[in-house]
Amino acid sequence: MLSTLKSPPCIITCAITGATSRQMNSNVPITPTEQARAIERAFQAGARVAHVHPREDDGRQSHRPERYQEVLYEIKSRCPEIIVEISTRATSMKDGIDRGSCVELTPKLWGNDDRLKPDLVSLNTGTLNLRDRIFLNSPLDIELQARRIYNAGIVPELDVFEIGQMENAFELVRKGVLQKPINFLFVLGSGGISADPANLLHFVRSLPPGTHWTGLGAGRYNFPIASLAIHLGGHVRTGLEDTTYIRKGIKAKSNAQLVEQMAQLCELYGRPIATPQEARQLLGLAPLIEVRNQKSEVRSKILAG
């Protein structure tokens, strides 16, 4: 069901780093402190979700548990209102089991205190050819990942790169593995389905009523696909992971600049930007006041210890 006549709140996600190198854009944040600062500024510009790939100081993608700990701590100390999503997407790791191990970091690192965990984790819904690599996600792995995410008290975002991957997600809904509200991310022009507007329409028409979704066009399709998503009542994503340019031929100065432009687009289409509280409610997360209290307790506990 399309909702072109409504103006529901729009959630802007900022994907701050991804696989973008300093050669591609010198402003990409790398260290935990840089990432947290970038997220704080993006939040002030209107971002409500931060999509995060931890990096080592030399720029390499990091899967070290200690690095996840550092990044989460930095982000949540500096910007407690932001919803933090960590990515499990990495073709360099051999299968979905390894990729998903980050969802179980919190119990390992913080004992039984699960309050400094990510709010969202990306759950890939199918296998995909990505350039010369195979991004492997078997149906069994996807189900296992979904169960691990819920068991860790985190909410999954269902990342979809091809229309057939929707069926894998629907099957998990039928089996009762995926719990409402269901949050989809449709990725167009990034190795899977092309960024043709008709493809986004097809995705959206396939959804059951009440499903939340975000439209993401990669690279030069970032803002065109976002425009359509905003018009159709969906949510949007931008950031230096998704596009290194603010407009044709001009590199983005920061993640915040991209978010500012996305916020202007929302305003142009008459879509209010979701408040932090609204965003949490829409995505099925605990209310903000509860999280704030928990975080301040955790922070003082850590500083005292």
State the Cα–Cα distance between residues 173 and 17, nearest whole angstrom. Answer: 31
Q: Are 119 and 83 in contact (CB under 8 A)?
A: yes
Helices and strands (H, E) in the chain, number of each type: 11, 12
Task: Return d(Cα 238, Cα 47) in angstroms, integer.
Answer: 9
Contacting Zn ion within 14-53 (CB under 5 A): 18
Q: In the complex, what is the shortest distance from the CB of residue 71 to Zn ion, in angstroms, rounded to a whole number?
A: 14
Tell me how far, at minimum, the Cβ of 6 lies from Zn ion, in Å. 29
What track of x and - describes contact with Zn ion for positions 169 through 208 (by CB under 5 A)? ----------------------------------------
Name residue 159's amino acid.
Answer: D
> Smallest distance from the beta carbon of 116 to Zn ion, in angstroms?
21
* Least Cβ distance, residue 241 to Zn ion (angstroms): 5
Rg of the chain (C-alpha set):
18
Q: Return the residue nearest Zn ion (CB atom).
A: 87
Give the residue with the Cβ less far from Zn ion, 242 or 260.
242
- The verdict on 239 binding Zn ion (CB under 5 A) reads no
Closest CB 242 distance from Zn ion, rounded Å: 8
Residues 75-104 as x/- pattern, contact with Zn ion by CB under 5 A: ------------x-----------------
Between 222-232 and 255-268, two packed helices, what is the crossing angle to 10 degrees? 40
List Cβ neighbours of 64 (8 Å cut-off, separation of 6 or more).
54, 56
Write out the residues near Zn ion by the rule CB under 5 A.
18, 87
